[in-house]
Amino acid sequence: MNKTTSLYRPCIGIMVINQSGKVLVCRRADLPESESAWQMVQGGVDENEAPICAAFRELEEETNIQRQEVERVDLWEEFQYYDFPFEQKTPYSEYVGQKQQWLIVKYLKDDNSIDLRKAKDKEFDSYKWITMSEAVDLIWQPKKPIYKRLATRYKEHLAI
């Protein structure tokens, strides 16, 4: 993809997969209940921060999932881009969208052991484990192509 990369906010996404092959999606606390309020964990990569470090930091800050509670499957280093809709105001108005790398991890604990109330950031107010196809259907439209590529790339780890 030929994008002017400085126009895109560096970001890391984390696909957390449970023992049944379902993925973790969380509902953003700052949005009204709708399908666009659900997403996988993601966040900005700070200047001079390694993507893998950013991923584990974001995972802990947003969900209180600790590094030792997951097993690394892969780091997809190829940037995946999505644009912000023109009508949407974001805190990142200097950017036209985000460029994401993705950490893929297996969750080693019980599915119900996540306690979002203990998360440092109160970004999410609920979570659920769903199939990747359900995640593609559920999330915000601009992210759907990335989720579809994730589903194809990591299909051997995912429930149908």
Burial 52-68 (b: 16+ CB within 10 A, else e): eebbbbbbbebbbbeee
- Mean per-residue pLDDT of the chain: 92
CATH 3.40.50.300, applies to 7-157? no
Domain ranges of the chain: 7-157
- 89/116 Cα distance (integer angstroms): 26
Residue 66 has pLDDT above 70, yes or no: yes
127-153 residue pLDDT tens: 999 999 999 999 999 999 999 999 999
pLDDT value for 3: 62
Taking the CA atoms of 97, 55, 144 and 40 in sequence, report the sign of the dihedral they define.
negative
pLDDT value for 1: 47
Quote the DSSP letter at residue 45.
Answer: P
pLDDT value for 91: 61
pLDDT value for 106: 99
Alpha carbon of 92 to those of 1, 78, 84, 132: distances in Å?
A: 21, 22, 10, 28
pLDDT value for 94: 81
Question: To which H or E segment does residue 57 belong?
Answer: helix 51-63
Give burial (CB, 10 Å; 0-12/13-18/19+) of 104: buried
Strand segments, DSSP code E, in 2-150 are: 8-17, 23-28, 38-39, 41-44, 70-83, 97-107, 124-130
82-103 residue pLDDT tens: 998 866 555 657 888 999 999 9
6-39 residue pLDDT tens: 899 999 999 999 999 999 999 999 887 765 789 9
pLDDT value for 88: 58
Of 66 and 36, the structure prediction assigns the larger pLDDT to 66
